[in-house]
Structure 1
Amino acid sequence: MYSDDWKTPQDELLRRCQVFQRHLTAQQIDMAIIVQNADLFYLTGSIQQGMLFVPCSGEPVYCVRRDLDRARLESALSQVVAAPSPRQLADFVREQFGMTPETLGFELDVLPVTFYERLKRSFAEVAVKDVTPLLRRVRMIKSPFELGRMRKAADQLAVVYEAAKNTLREGISELELSAHLELAARLAGHQGMTRMRAFNGEFYGGHVLSGAAGAHPTFCDTPLGGTGLTPAVAQGAGQRVIQANEPVIIDFLGAYQGYLCDQTRTLCLGGLADELRQGYEDMVEILWHMEKIARPGVSWGHIYDSCLALACEMGHKDAFMGSAGAQVGFIGHGIGTEIDEFPFIAKGFNDDLLEEGMTFAFEPKLVYPELGALGIENTYLVTADGVEVLTRCPEELAVV
């Protein structure tokens, strides 16, 4: 049904659950109930509809409403059972785990209120805590297994980059170029969907933005938006025809077996004006500056502050990470099964430190109204003494 390496091994799943359980114990949470797809996939290897019960000690139990047979095929956990009715949840927990939890943990950032109220009614007199911060701390450190999948996602981005150089021509529309790149990514194994945790944070495979269209801001918390094809989406490639001597931004996500890699490259037909070319070279310099200072023990906020200061020294205060009035307060974001994981290379995160095993995308970009956007983005692994680049495409401006 799937490719040869699709299944998350049992020892990998149990290791993740055990790390999570240590966090639950430290916060005096008796049990967590996990329902969100990205978290379910991380802890079970499946997204079949249901709930994962994770006690603070002992074996987790994956209760599946739909589809149980498929969940048993997909998940390597030994306890994959039919989900009880909401009215039977408390009895099920007592029978399965031999205890009545006094404190339950829910993913309060994403759990719908009606679902939360239904769960709460099932457990009388129970205290509730938010386990999302704990899960994000667990998920931010990637295992060798996870890094293997992220490297394969990076391989897809190399295919997309070559397809962009081979397909870009004067007169092609953003939409047509994007369709070519999406096809190339899918044929290279791209899973099709990507995930973002933020409420209403909708995103898909990537953006192709050209000229002035690249400077259009939009609703999502990103430096670039694009016109899109409809206000129902309001982002991404539109019908604009690409012309010579303007920047063309290719901002794409690789996605392999649940794991993402993020890359941006800037292309153009025939070259760019000196101001734009210099701006691009400055963004590469900021990227390299981050690579020099990022290492375990350095705060996320310090990296942001240092790179923002460098951008301002270069004269880009009003265009860095968005046009004036639409600038975002980050330059990088964690990435894994979702595009907005820890760490955040962002304003105010001065007490949070890089740790070995973290992965993040770093994307210095400039936005000039009427002219367009340009920039660069790589995905990185934090190593014992610095960072390793996972995305490997050439970093210079690609002139076609």
Structure 2
Amino acid sequence: MGNMNIKDEASIINSDENVVSDVEQADLSINGDDSYTIYPNAEVRVEKAQYSIMHLHTLCLKRKELIIDPDFQRHDVWKQRQKSELIESILMGIPIPLMYLFEDKNGKKQVVDGRQRISAILDFLEGKFKLNNLRILKQFNGCCFADLDLKQQGVIEDFQLLFYIIQPPTPERVKYDIFDRVNRGGTPLNKQEMRNALYRGRCTRMLDKLCCSPEFLIATGRSINKERMKDQYVVLRAMAFLMLHRGEFKDIPALQYRGDIDDFLARFMVYVNDNAPEKLIVDYENLFIRCMQISYDLLGENGFRFSGNGIRRPINMPLFEALSYLFSFVPEKIDYTWASRLILDIESVKEEFDDSRYFSGNIDSTTSVSFRFDRMDKIRNRIQL
């Protein structure tokens, strides 16, 4: 059995210490060994727009055409002082930086950059805070919007905000890269946090449900930290590969895996949000939960870990994906004579995998992914799953 090499363990999750970089390094494995072009000759459509604050209020709170996701911006939340300074700038007529929106095919818009500013403006209009610590317009300290005279209210309502709107048919991967570029200030976002912001909907609700399921928590020994959405990244990958290798995407060219994990996961989330039959999602939620229960029943809470000679090693993400796929074929009624053979096969293949380059380093190349799932299929065929 090979010794654990910290540099090679880019594919692991460890909740016992701060290893955010481990998740993010695995998340950066993009192209693998394929000469796959991410978006050749992509059409990027960007429109410049100008909205008054009153129109912004209408779009967000009345017509619901501009979506602000309160769950996403949990880092660097503005304090009241920062909100007050923004309103003071608006009252003084000082331009504020432009903001970015995404527009979907139905015309709904989502804030990409500028959430804190928009939230602060709307909160002030809704009377949710009073101005304080103003250094220039001190006469307005202690005032909420309703306390201002009509002239000052008009100054705020008529203030013009500038936006860039990224419109269809801009490809998902281009949108993802734009989001990355405009969000590099402040606390850097990891890629799963970006996905969570870009593709909120049925898929993110599915991930929330599965990550909180007792079966997942028990099968992983509660060792995958929720911080920075590491648990959601692990489950997202497993679900996407599970559906892919069980043949759900055989007639969907856009959902074939070509070695770009970011593009694949983005397309998968869009598919789940917009196109997947409800029954398919429910069936796979139940299947995933059953896989977690089977893993714990057969292997305990260390099923997704490689042996560490007395040291508990982290969950290995490629192993988690491969075994989840294998367990998806295990019948509901387990014959324990047959199960003993399966356990021996799994322990044997785990030793083989621990020494394999396909489970460390560049884990997302098509070669690495195919190797892992082909190996699971060989076990299936041998014991007739």
Q: Indicate whether the TM-score tops 0.5.
A: no
Higher relative CO (CA 8 A, sep ≥ 6), structure 1 or 2? 2
Normalising by the residue count of structure 2, what TM-score does the alignment of the two structures yield? Answer: 0.28
Larger radius of gyration: 2
Give the number of the structure whose residues are more often strand, by fraction: 1
